[in-house]
Amino acid sequence: MTTAPAPLVTGVDFVAVPAKDFEESVHFYGTVLGLPAGKRWGDSPGAEFQAGALTIAVMEPTAFGQEFRPHSLPIALQVDDVAAARAQLEAQGVRFVTELIDSGSCHQAIFLDPAGNALDLHHRYAPDAD
């Protein structure tokens, strides 16, 4: 009997989110969203924030020789109550680009960070169908 080789990829260390104005994005993820701050990338414009088991690395791509392009597909951020979380963020000036979406298994609402990256408040209220 042969054994399968060990997997090449063993996990995800972080998801990078591009920033236009690094300090504005740091304020947004740390203060507006209230995500715990993690590692700063020394003198480089990069900082990590913890969203449950996912690390979001906010970085200014032009400082690393890359072009700035915001993400158009959202990162789904888990919340207990989408409507309440939306109201809290709207009170802080956050711009939503959708109404409340009810897919039949989850509620969600898509909004933009200061750099125009799409994010999604998400709450699954029904189990996944097999």
Give the H/E segment covering residue 106. strand 106-112
How far is the first Cα of the chain from the last one, in angstroms, to the nearest whole number?
A: 31
CA-closest candidate to residue 18, choices 119, 94, 90: 119
- pLDDT (0 to 100) of residue 99: 95
| Average confidence (pLDDT) over 81-108 | 96
Share of the chain above pLDDT 70, in %: 98
CA-closest candidate to residue 72, choices 17, 14, 12: 17
Average pLDDT value over all residues in the chain: 95
Number of H helices, E strands in the chain: 2, 8
pLDDT reading at 130 higher than 70: no
4-8, 44-48, 99-103: segment of lowest average pLDDT: 4-8
Q: Identify the band that residue 1 occupies on the pLDDT scale cut at 50, 70 and 90.
A: confident
For residue 119, give the amino acid letter: L
Q: Which domains does the chain have, with CATH numbers?
A: 15-62+69-124 (3.10.180.10)
Residue pair 64/87 in contact (Cβ under 8 Å)? The answer is no
Residue pair 78/122 in contact (Cβ under 8 Å)? The answer is yes
For residue 64, give the amino acid letter: F
